[in-house]
Amino acid sequence: MPELPEVEVTRQQLQQYVAGSVIEHVEVAEPKILDSPEMLQRLSEISNIHITSCERRGKLLLIHLENTDILAIHRRMAGNLTLLARNVPNELYTRAVFYLLAPNGAEQKLLYSDPRKFGRIGVYHPGELTQKLALLGPEPLQDDFTDAALKHAIGTANRPIKTILLDQSKIAGIGNIYADESLFIAGIHPERYSHSLTDIEIHTLRMAIATTLTSALKHAGTTFGRHKDLFGSAGRNLDYLQVYQRDGLPCKICGNVIQRIRVAQRSTRFCPECQK
């Protein structure tokens, strides 16, 4: 599932290669991927409109249009965006196609492909997303994500720390991969109750989250499942992971066997020696 680094890779490429293009028209092959049935009408109304910029909030892509509407795309489990020339055949599992005209006149198309159809696309008028976005927690790679902000995110909830890391209303953008990786780097057991964390551990965890996400972004994200960038290239971060999908293998630090347990109904990998 694409998490913050994978979605950010896509955002950066959309900003570089798609902002400034005109959406000529949109074709929806699978209405299931729309936020609601009326989005079909709204997508038909964004013909001949410029894309001005591309933003990310948590795992959500926000593509700003010149008429002030926002095209919101959530890739969820397995959605990908691919930029192709118009004359190249569509990919398998293409659910929507945005026909684009680049500023240099190149005729392109942006495909949304998704075998599982869990991803969601919608077009929103100004203000309609405000409430939804306000429900998201802080961005972990922004300067205002301080020790105090993480402490505030943990708040009064006394739950296993991994549960809190996965809660998008507490911190935006972290999923199963980077929750496990961050806790490993911080040396904190995923089942530790959040109220048992000391101030030093909270600081260490905040730094570990930043390190983990920054490293993944540098390697263009983790491709374990389907994640590809806008041009079909896989992320290179898998080789740099410490625990994710490494259960049964020796810990890269201490050599003990990486264990797998379930926390918050999610498979969780950790090193029983390195994480206390």
Q: Do residues 192 and 207 lie in contact, with contact meaning Cβ atoms separated by under 8 Å? A: no
Nearest residue relative to Zn ion (C-beta): 251
**94 versus 204: smaller Cβ distance to Zn ion:** 204
Among candidate residues 42, 56, 59, 170, the one labeled active-site is 59
> C-alpha distances in angstroms, 106 versus 68, 80, 131, 160, 182?
24, 22, 37, 51, 42
Q: Do residues 193 and 160 lie in contact, with contact meaning Cβ atoms separated by under 8 Å? A: yes
110 binding Zn ion? (CB under 5 A): no
Residues 207-266 that bind Zn ion (CB under 5 A): 251, 253-254
Closest approach of Cβ 243 to Zn ion, in Å?
9
Q: Nearest Cα to 13, choosing from 246, 254, 168, 235? A: 235
Is position 3 annotated as part of the catalytic site? yes
Among candidate residues 115, 151, 266, 273, the one labeled active-site is 266
Closest approach of Cβ 263 to Zn ion, in Å?
18
Closest approach of Cβ 198 to Zn ion, in Å?
21
Closest approach of Cβ 218 to Zn ion, in Å?
23
Is position 170 annotated as part of the catalytic site? no
In our burial notation (b when 16+ CB lie closer than 10 A, e otherwise), range 81-100 reads bbbbeeeeeeeebbbbbbbb
CA distance 101 to 18: 9
201 binding Zn ion? (CB under 5 A): no
Is position 160 annotated as part of the catalytic site? no
Gyration radius of the chain's alpha carbons: 20
27 binding Zn ion? (CB under 5 A): no
CA distance 245 to 258: 9
Residue 143, token pair as written in the block: 């300067």
**90 versus 259: smaller Cβ distance to Zn ion:** 259
106 binding Zn ion? (CB under 5 A): no
271 binding Zn ion? (CB under 5 A): yes
Is position 66 annotated as part of the catalytic site? no
- Contacts with Zn ion, 123-142, as mask; x by CB under 5 A: --------------------
DSSP 34: B
Which residues are near Zn ion by CB under 5 A?
251, 253-254, 271, 273-274
- Please give the positions annotated as active site: 2-3, 59, 266
